[in-house]
Amino acid sequence: MTKPLLVLGSANADLVVEVGRRPGGGETVLGGDTVVLPGGKGANTAVAAARVGASVALVGALGDDGYGSLLRSSLEDSGVDTALVKTSQRPTGIAYITVTPDGENSIVVSPGANADVAESDVDALSFDGVQVLTCSLEVPLETVIHAIDAASKAGVKTVLNLSPVAELPAETLKQLTTLIVNEHEAAQLASDWRHLLRLGPHTAIVTLGERGVAVVLPAGVKEIPGVKVDKVVDTTGAGDAFAGAFSARLAEGDRVVVAAEYAVKVAALSVTKAGAQPSYPTAAEVSSPVAG
């Protein structure tokens, strides 16, 4: 059965190590014990959406290895449908993450099986009953372009988390319901946030970390302030938490601004715990007074 929300993207094992500071070129810095956690922009987005109640399926690929088993279990335990996650001959993708005491992170991604997510996987999809397709860019670009085209032609709302920034055809940008970028990525694309819509998307969202987000609409820019939390533990996957929660609410019929307001709360709560997927809140947690 097709889910109202489809997420096409990567699934990685996150190998996380805490360091006092990031090493410079040619320098070795000792860190803490390595922690292995489920991650990947696609899997994170899907889990974040499922945690807040979305009916969601992930389109992706995993290796036939221990990391792949870890990821499947995390997805399924969170309520994500994994029927569209294929098994690849390549190893499961891995993200190598260093986290400093202020909670900031630096990441190197080895795509592995994610590179096998193909246009043929998109062609095998049914968009009947799908409300939203959300994509990110740790899978082949041509697959993402093909998926956005197919979904748009089927009348499905399309969301793209353009991270890292890549050059997309003008037609693909015009097919986007919402483009999501952080402020650094936005600066690479346009000199002014309002100019993001000149690229083609109907709406755009610029994520601003603890400061919240800016929603760019044809009528102007609506800034949504961040939600204050007592302590930032780990920012890993906070952007994916926002994308997942936003997509979940969009699939439920919320307007872009309302969906973004909800997703800001989810992203804020996610940084109060370690890791990406393990840190994502449930709908009940988002609704609690602490989240407001």
The mean-pLDDT minimum among 4-18, 62-76, 115-129, 224-238 falls in 224-238
pLDDT digits (tens, 9 = 90+) for 32-63: 999 998 999 999 999 999 999 999 999 999 99
Catalytic residues: 240
* Whole-angstrom distance, CA of residue 265 vs CA of residue 140: 31
Question: In the chain, pLDDT over 90 holds for what percent of residues?
Answer: 84
Mean pLDDT of all residues in 199-226: 96
- 67-71, 122-126, 151-155, 161-165: least confidently modelled range: 161-165
Binding residues for substrate: 12-14, 40-44, 138, 240
Residue whose tokens read 């609409």: 217
H or E segment to which residue 122 belongs: helix 119-123
Binned at pLDDT 50, 70 and 90, residue 278 comes out as confident
List binding-site positions. Answer: 12-14, 40-44, 138, 182, 207-212, 234, 236, 239-240, 270, 273, 275, 279
Q: Which segments are annotated as binding site for K(+)?
A: 234, 236, 270, 273, 275, 279
CA angle 88, 90, 93 (to 5 degrees): 95
Whole-angstrom distance, CA of residue 72 vs CA of residue 74: 5
CA distance 57 to 70: 17
Cα–Cα separations (whole angstroms), residue 203 to 40, 137, 174, 250: 25, 19, 10, 13
Q: Tell me what the mean pLDDT of segment 124-136 comes to.
A: 97
Task: Report which DSSP code applies to 289.
Answer: G
Q: Scanning the structure block, which residue is given the tokens 């190197």?
A: 108
Binding residues for ATP, as ranges, are 182, 207-212, 239-240
> Residue 292: pLDDT above 50?
no
Q: Which domains does the chain have, with CATH numbers?
A: 5-10+41-90+112-291 (3.40.1190.20)
Name the residue among 55, 87, 52 with its Cα closest to residue 72: 87
Helix or strand holding residue 242 (H, E): helix 238-251
Output the pLDDT for position 1.
56
The band of 289, judged by pLDDT with boundaries at 50, 70 and 90, is low
The residue assigned the tokens 């499905």 is 156
